[in-house]
Structure 1
């Protein structure tokens, strides 16, 4: 059963944007996310909204599970109203500090306008003066819109990844079936090969002990037998598909399953001692590695 809209497999990569006007001012929120082991949030807020950072983080944590999140909030003025304000008190204070630093270290270079203007909060354009409650009301509204856009993009990319992953599971299963089909043939060939080598060594000087030969052939067949590994790998493939179809935050579960799948593939390869089986194992491991790379971007 495919995952529902509320429980989709999501990518951790996405972008969302929201806007809202307040008089001649425009508030814009942009949210960018990339893959990350946990939920890591960094933000850039206008000076007048710094006190709302904890609420903004809470809103993001409610909507997103994993990923490195970068959110940028800006105020701009409507087209045609390009007034820019500067903080007189901050400018004077910053200038005095720069002068003190210059004198302390005996720098020859004078403090210039470019040095003062380098302060990030000196100039402001389009930021209205709002009480926290009013500021949060509009910030919450615009951020929610940006998150909705972001989640939609993450959902779409997640669906595209699932469409790529499912056929790869079948490719692995096809190689696994080839290994399973080859296993009985390998045991028979190993017994015949052993019997031929023993006969060549004795060179007709003594009769071959068939019971002893059978025991030794059984030991070889057991060392070469990868039935258990094939069964477990087949089960992991079923679980992988079930997790994808269930949806939700699947990244960590799939990563664990892939570790187990890779372990089984390595064991099958170590028991191979056969060109055709080795070729299938290489195909298995290539597809498992592609799966591993792809699921790193799933939430």
Structure 2
């Protein structure tokens, strides 16, 4: 299910931050976190908490942290400085190969590049901030879950309506099958007679098998019974409080299987029409189930 939440916070002194978490539909759970890597244990903790609360969806979490200039001293980011110097050396080499002359860079130029000079961070800062952020994330995650739950309630009503539509069409299929019974019986007798007229010298077991197949192909009782059972099973799943999306996804495949068989065995225009209508509703049901937790 889709969801979104955003919030801002501060420790009342050196740091301020902004959270943003969002999700879109997916069959499984895919977490993508963009958080500062200098706070040890932050990403692992956030990933664990989201995984415990969410079972399906592409979830993206971002955290931007700012520190006031008055809050502390500045320090050189050694990794970023090394990357910058390597890039400068490569550029100068390429320029020399092309016969170009570059103006020399000074320390002020390099320090002014983004990420080379940044606020100094101590281990104490990181540990204290980790605790504050972990507590602050509670409200963000709860707001995110509430939005997903609101969408879930709306989706719940849609799915129940679709199951009612499937139930109505299944009952119509049962009536249509009953109405075509005399014609189906007549057709079965003709087919049976055709088989019996060509049984001379045939294997009795093979003849019995062909007769059984003819009878099975004209009877849709089992398909109708299974569709009815699937509707009951789906409603029972929707009545549960926990995640049921994967189970419903499997059940929609069974719905579709029975509808396909019903169409192939219809033998009458009206029953075929009902079978096609069933397939259309089941396809819509399956699309919605993909959005469920």
TM-score in terms of structure 2 length: 0.77
SS in 2 for 1:75: strand
RMSD of the TM alignment (CA)? Answer: 3.7
- Look up the match of 1:212: none
Matched-pair contact (CA < 8 Å) for 2:40–2:126:
no
Q: Does 1:54 align with 2:48?
A: no
Summarize the Cα distance change of 1:221–1:188 in structure 2 as closer, same or farther, 3 Å threshold.
farther
Summarize the Cα distance change of 1:149–1:116 in structure 2 as closer, same or farther, 3 Å threshold.
farther
The answer to whether structure 1 residue 271 and structure 2 residue 261 are counterparts is no
User: Kindly tell me: are residues 124 and 170 of structure 1, through their superposed partners in 2, closer, same or farther at Cα, counting changes over 3 Å?
Assistant: farther
Would the alpha carbon gap of residues 219 and 100 (structure 1) be closer, same or farther in structure 2, given more than 3 Å must change? Answer: closer
Name the CA shift for 1:123/1:240 in 2 (closer, same or farther; >3 Å). farther
Q: Which residue of 2 aligns with 1:34?
A: 24
CA shift for structure 1 position 72: 0.6
Q: Any stretches of 5+ residues in structure 2 without a counterpart?
A: 192-209
Change (3 A) 1:69 1:174: same
User: Which residue number in structure 2 is paired with residue 19 of structure 1?
Assistant: 8
**Contact 1:191–1:217 (CA<8 Å) still a contact in 2?**
no
Find the residue that maps to 1:246 and give its secondary structure: coil
Return the structure number with greater relative CO, CA threshold 8 A, min gap 6. Answer: 1
Task: Find the aligned partners of 1:119 and 1:258 in 2 and give their Cα distance.
Answer: 56
Shift of 1:193: 6.1
Cα deviation 1:189-229 (Å, max 9, x = unaligned): 234567899xxxxxxxxxxxxxxxxxx99975542211011
Aligned partners of 2:40 and 2:133: how far apart in 1? 12
Contact 2:188 2:215 (8 Å CA) reproduced: no
Within a 5 Å distance, the mapping from 1:75-154 to structure 2 comes to 75-76=65-66, 88-90=76-78, 92-103=81-92, 105=94, 121-122=115-116, 130-154=124-148
Alignment pair present for 1:229 and 2:226: no
Q: Distance in 2 between matches of 1:51 and 1:100?
A: 35
Q: Structure 1-normalised TM-score?
A: 0.76
Gap runs ≥5 in structure 1: 1-11, 198-215
Q: 1:46-88 CA deviation, whole Å, 9 max, x = no partner?
A: 253254221221222222222222111112468xx89999754
Identify if the C-alpha distance between structure 1 residues 126 and 86 changes in structure 2 by more than 3 Å, giving closer, same or farther. closer
